């Protein structure tokens, strides 16, 4: 196979590294984000050959292009089979419009796809190299449980999750606090922003340099590569790949990691005619595309699609980079990306909570489709796109459902008057014993807790 792909920092002030380094470091030393220095191509023939393949086989075919030099082929194959042992439903909705449900993993959000692969890759590194890692993660809900489940029992790795006690639902909390083992959870008496600030301080704290801290949120390139796979999967299952049939894909977005997976797939050659980006009222990216000026939203707006309440998406720097510009970690644009090109490839729209609720109701009344708030933002975004681009009406399209409706039973009940079925992954959660410590937002006592075993890696 070819030379390994190398990874550069979007701040351009760090020498390129191999995947192993990029995974273990998370963020580049210059505070930029790692990006692959090339996108190994997927030809029409490659895509055609995947049409009848299973999800794990497609994942293996895609990921080996990036992991060559780090894991051998047979190992990667078995990691893919082990990580992707759940279904990925593709539902036909109407005309040529479809829905892809990424909600059947063990914690019922799309974050399982990337977290499970990243954990397994890091597990391989720890097994071959020894040593230990401490994964430190702040969560507003779904990331914490996906990461905790994915790393549970991975030898050489400990996980610490910080969550804002008053901002997560009981169900979301129990998905993290009932795991135990190498997973430690802290409920913080503060907001998500406080949790994130504590984590950021810990990464920069020389007193903790002995702990080998790393991040498992979507600043890590290990979270993005596996998110390119399902776009290839849905394409080869629904499109005429040999004819390079175009597809429109809609991604409900917050931190824009999921969308970057689609951008990577497009750069590799997936015929994505238009990528539709749907946000909630946190519309800083749609506004940027429309006006060319970037303004983050501080504090972020609170919406019912709570996992997308992001006022400054960390992955935006990567999008700007792919389109030839440069944005630093705090959101200053040093060089404008090619806005014409961005507007040609992307269509961005912001959906209000009212419209999100209407979308849930409409999709159910018209098509019997049960959506939760994030997926409903996506579905509404796709409908906006087709209203604005009537000539594309017959183009194959798919919107992504990022969480299981049963994660948001109160909202679904209020809008549709029904109770969504509980998937096996969420069943029985109520009765499992919880373990977590409540802490204040004071950094020093948090640091002392980190320095105490058993979380010490
Ligand atoms: C995290 C999350 C999103 C947003 O994904 P990004 O990659 O941050 O854009 C959307 N929906 C759900 C359910 C999520 O958990």
Residue 258, ligand 1, Cβ within 6 A? yes
Residue 306, ligand 1, Cβ within 6 A? no
The residues near 456 (Cβ < 8 Å, ≥ 6 apart) are 134, 158, 211, 450
Q: Which of 341, 362, 344 is nearest to 93 (CA)?
A: 362
Mutate to test the pocket of ligand 1, among 402, 404, 408, 426 (most ligand atoms within 8 A of CB): 402
In this prediction, residues 199-221 reach a mean pLDDT of 87
CB 148 within 8 A of CB 123: no
The residues near 15 (Cβ < 8 Å, ≥ 6 apart) are none
Residue 27, ligand 1, Cβ within 6 A? no
Q: Angle 55-67/226-238 helices, nearest 10 degrees?
A: 130
Distance separating the N- and C-terminal Cα atoms of the chain: 35
Residue 216, ligand 1, Cβ within 6 A? no
Mutate to test the pocket of ligand 1, among 99, 111, 277 (most ligand atoms within 8 A of CB): 111
Q: Which of 399, 394, 423 is nearest to 103 (CA)?
A: 423
User: How far apart are the C-alpha atoms of 146 and 300, rounded to whole Å?
Assistant: 23
Span from the CA of 206 to the centroid of ligand 1 (angstroms): 32
Chain segment 329-366, per-residue pLDDT in tens: 889 999 999 999 999 999 999 999 999 999 999 999 99
Q: Which of 216, 237, 198, 186 is nearest to 50 (CA)?
A: 237
Q: Across the beta sheet with 213-214, what order do the strands follow?
A: 213-214, 133-138, 157-164, 183-188, 437-439
CB 267 within 8 A of CB 317: no
**Atom 1 of ligand 1: nearest residue by CA position:** 307
Mutate to test the pocket of ligand 1, among 109, 225, 261, 373 (most ligand atoms within 8 A of CB): 109
Q: Average pLDDT, whole number, for the chain?
A: 93
Give the pair of three-digit tokens for residue 232.
């290839």
Span from the CA of 259 to the centroid of ligand 1 (angstroms): 10
pLDDT score of 204: 81
Ligand 1: which atom is nearest the Cα of residue 227?
7
**Atom 14 of ligand 1: nearest residue by CA position:** 307
Residue 115, ligand 1, Cβ within 6 A? no
- Is 453's pLDDT higher than 70? no
- Is 457's pLDDT higher than 50? no
Among 72-86, 117-131, 253-267, the minimum mean pLDDT is found in 117-131
> How many CB atoms are located within 10 Å of the residue 12 CB?
12
pLDDT band at 215 (very low <50, low <70, confident <90, very high): confident
- Is 456's pLDDT higher than 60? no
Give the pair of three-digit tokens for residue 284.
């800083």
User: How far apart are the C-alpha atoms of 254 and 139, rounded to whole Å?
Assistant: 13
Q: What percent of the chain has pLDDT over 70?
A: 99
Span from the CA of 258 to the centroid of ligand 1 (angstroms): 7
Query: Is the CATH code 3.40.50.1100 the one for domain 88-109+221-416?
Result: yes
Residue 312, ligand 1, Cβ within 6 A? no
Span from the CA of 222 to the centroid of ligand 1 (angstroms): 16
Q: Which residues of 444-457 are buried (b: 16+ CB within 10 A; e: fewer)?
A: eebeeebeeeebeb
Span from the CA of 15 to the centroid of ligand 1 (angstroms): 30
Tokens 């824009």 found at:
256
Residue 309, ligand 1, Cβ within 6 A? no
pLDDT score of 390: 93
Chain segment 43-68, per-residue pLDDT in tens: 999 999 999 999 999 999 999 999 99
Residue 112, ligand 1, Cβ within 6 A? no
Residue 256, ligand 1, Cβ within 6 A? yes
pLDDT score of 404: 95
């Amino acid at each position: 196979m070819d030379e390994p792909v190398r990874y550069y920092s979007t701040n351009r002030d760090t020498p390129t590294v191999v995947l192993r380094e990029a995974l273990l470091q998370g963020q580049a030393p210059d505070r930029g984000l790692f990006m692959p220095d090339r996108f190994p191509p997927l030809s029409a023939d490659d895509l055609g050959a995947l049409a009848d393949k299973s999800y794990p086989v497609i994942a293996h075919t895609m990921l080996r292009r990036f992991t060559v030099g780090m894991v051998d082929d047979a190992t990667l194959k078995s990691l893919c089979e082990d990580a992707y042992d759940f279904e990925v439903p593709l539902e036909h909705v109407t005309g040529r419009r479809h829905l892809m449900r990424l909600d059947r993993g063990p914690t019922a959000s799309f974050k399982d796809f990337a977290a499970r692969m990243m954990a397994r890759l890091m597990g391989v590194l720890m097994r071959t190299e020894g040593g230990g890692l401490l994964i430190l993660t702040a969560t507003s809900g779904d990331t914490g449980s996906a990461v905790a489940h994915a790393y549970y029992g991975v030898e050489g790795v400990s996980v610490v999750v910080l969550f804002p006690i008053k901002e997560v639902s009981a169900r979301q909390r129990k998905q993290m606090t009932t795991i135990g083992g190498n997973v430690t959870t802290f409920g913080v008496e503060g907001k998500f922003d406080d949790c994130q600030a504590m984590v950021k301080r810990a990464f920069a704290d020389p007193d903790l340099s002995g702990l080998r801290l790393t991040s498992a949120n979507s600043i890590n390139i290990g979270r993005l590569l596996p998110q390119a796979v399902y776009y290839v999967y849905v394409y080869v299952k629904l499109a005429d790949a040999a004819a390079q049939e175009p597809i429109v894909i809609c991604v409900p977005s917050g931190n824009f990691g999921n969308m970057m997976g689609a951008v990577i797939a497009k750069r590799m050659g997936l015929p994505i005619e238009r990528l539709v980006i749907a946000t909630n009222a946190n519309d800083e990216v749609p506004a940027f595309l429309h006006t060319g000026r970037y303004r983050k939203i501080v504090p972020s707006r609170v919406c019912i699609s709570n996992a997308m309440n992001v006022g400054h998406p960390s992955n935006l720097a990567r999008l700007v980079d792919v389109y030839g510009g440069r944005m630093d970690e705090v959101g200053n644009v040093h060089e404008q990306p090619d806005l014409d090109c961005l507007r040609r490839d992307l269509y961005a729209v912001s959906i209000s909570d009212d419209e999100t609720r209407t979308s849930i109701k409409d999709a159910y009344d018209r098509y019997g489709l049960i959506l939760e708030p994030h997926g409903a933002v996506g579905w509404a975004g796709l409908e906006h796109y087709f209203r604005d681009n009537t000539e594309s009406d017959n183009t194959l399209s798919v919107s992504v459902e990022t969480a299981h409706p049963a994660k948001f039973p109160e909202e679904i009940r209020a809008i549709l008057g029904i109770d969504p079925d509980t998937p096996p992954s969420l069943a029985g959660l109520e009765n499992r014993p919880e373990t977590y410590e409540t802490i204040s937002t004071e950094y020093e006592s948090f640091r002392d807790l980190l320095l105490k075993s058993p979380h010490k890696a």
